[in-house]
Amino acid sequence: MADLPHILIVDDSRVVRISLIKHLKEHFEIREEGDGEAAWQTLVVDHSIKAVISDLQMPKLNGYELLERVRTSKLRRLQQMPFILVSGAETEEERERAVAMGVSDFVTKGAGSAELLARLKHLLNLSTAQESLEADRERLVQDSVTGLYTRKYLELQAAQALSHAARHGSDVSVMVLGFDGFEGMCQRFGVEVAEQICNRFAKMLAGKVRHEDSLGHYGMGQFAIVSPGTAPAFCATFAERVREAVEMAKLAVRGETVALTVSIGLASMPNDKVPSAGALLDLAGERMQKAVAEGGNRTEAGGVSPATRPISLNQALEFLGAGRVEPVVPHLPALLERLLPMLRLMDKELGLALPMAEIERRLSERESQKN
């Protein structure tokens, strides 16, 4: 009995339940409930149940209401579970309502055991086949360890994004990043640990990309992001932020501090004239390899300059703490303007005699020149 499929029979009539169980007990392990509410509670807690046979007219929760809960449940197994309604004198309109709500099949009251068995087994076979297909699809779509997309699926996402962009006149940008010295990491720590290090950063990166972006594997120690609707300059800005964040990260592995950097390649449509989504990913990958060949820890964007975005005071201090002045210099006027209230307060309270009037005059002149 333990090997038989488990099904749930729901009917407020004990006589009906006994009759159904008599027909099905040799083929299924059966649970029974006398009302829809009790049936719902059973379905939530009993993961072994594979199908439901339910009456329509029941107390507490009728067949329609039980069906609605099952189909709108957050539990995927319930959303797709075979659900048979035992119908009596229902009108065609009521049957259409059940179909619209997602009923799997109808069985007329008084139907023979052969018909009921045939329909139930057919639905369970379909359900098993669907589960198998979805499991195979998930293995193709997502890496089982990281949960990130596979390279093949990234190509499909890029193709869809390009199709949408062609209809609406928008951009599609692709970013491929690879960890510099990945082979050396593999030799130093072993392939498994090296991949774990890269995957940790990839998972952090997954929390930074937009919902509409797709992040996945490109190669060993390499990842790609497909970003629909993102202009090349803004993709270049994001790439630089990622590169700088990796460079400043402090990572301890087996008691050793590991310094990591990444090289990034960017490509976009319609800016880059390529024939396909796969070619767009390949171009970004080629530019990533070019960045590696030129010394690594850089972004190769095919001549596209990053869009200027302000940095925060905290980011500026982090750069300076890491001994990096270059990223801060372009933002000095904006940073100084934000610091003015603090400088005025320090000048007043600490008696520093700062040339505040001169500082404010120079900032004003620079703003006028910019406008």
Higher pLDDT, 111 or 122: 122
Q: Which residues pair with 85 in a beta bridge?
A: 54, 106
Q: Which tokens is 219 given?
A: 């190669």
Query: Quick one: angle between helices 182-189 and 191-206, nearest 10?
Result: 130
Same-domain pairing of 121 and 270: no
pLDDT level of residue 145 (50, 70, 90 thresholds)? low
**Is-contact 264 294, C-beta < 8 A?**
no
Q: Based on the domain organization, do 260 and 204 belong to the same domain?
A: yes
pLDDT tens, position by position, 210-223: 888 999 999 999 99
- Give dist(CA 322, CA 256) in Å, integer: 19
d(CA 158, CA 279): 10
Same domain, 131 and 248: no
Q: What is the pLDDT of residue 1?
A: 44
pTM: predicted TM-score of the whole model, two decimal places:
0.53
Q: State the total domains in the chain.
A: 3
Residues 126 and 174 in one domain: no
Q: Cα(311)–Cα(328) distance, rounded to whole angstroms?
A: 8
Per-residue pLDDT averaged across 49-74, rounded? Answer: 89
pLDDT digits (tens, 9 = 90+) for 226-261: 999 898 998 998 999 899 888 888 788 878 888 899
Is residue 319 included in any domain, yes or no?
no
pLDDT at 51: 92
- Domain span including residue 130: 6-140
First to last CA, the chain: 82
Average pLDDT, the chain: 86
Q: What percent of the chain has pLDDT over 70?
A: 93
In this prediction, residue 110 carries a pLDDT of: 67
> Could you tell me what percent of the chain has a pLDDT over 90?
35
